[in-house]
Amino acid sequence: MRNHLSLLLLTLAASLALPCDARAQSGELLEGLRQGGGWVEIPISGGTGTFSTEVLPTLGLTVAGCLNVWWGHSGRWYFDARDPVNGGRLNLNATPGEGVSFSYRTGLRSSLDLRVRWSEPGDTTLVVWVGVDPIGSSRRDACEPVYGPDDQEQHTSR
């Protein structure tokens, strides 16, 4: 049962983290999240970016994890995540290279509408690590990104 809950939690986190135009990459992200996290790219235009997910069965689970904006970015990043199905909301702000923990209790079904605002008015692709804390796992810190296949056991920040 524990493995089923862990898999469901990872699937939820992956789905919530996927922009609509990135769903084709969902297999890669799901595999990354099974390992404790994955990188997500969000297009930013004029200092803002958005994406949404479909409604998913989430069974009232709590998703706990961390996001970490890639250290090569600049400025401050503001994340406004809303769950229109349940009325829930998470507001986070992050600076590059510093992990920000989050926890959100889902409803029976959930979806995500995310708005990202950058402190700079430019265009870029935001690269952000979304790590999850699988249930009953003693794996690495969810806030510590993996930068490549050789970094699975290394805990470097750059």
pTM: 0.73
Bridge partners (DSSP) listed for residue 68: 129
pLDDT-wise least confident of 23-32, 49-58, 76-85, 108-117: 23-32
pLDDT in tens, 15-25: 544 444 444 34
Question: 54 to each of 4, 6, 29, 48, 123, how far by Cα in Å?
Answer: 21, 21, 16, 21, 26
Q: Could you state, in order of their start, the residue ranges of all structural domains in the chain?
A: 2-139
Q: Is the model's pLDDT at 82 over the cut of 90?
A: yes
Fold of 2-139: Jelly Rolls (2.60.120)
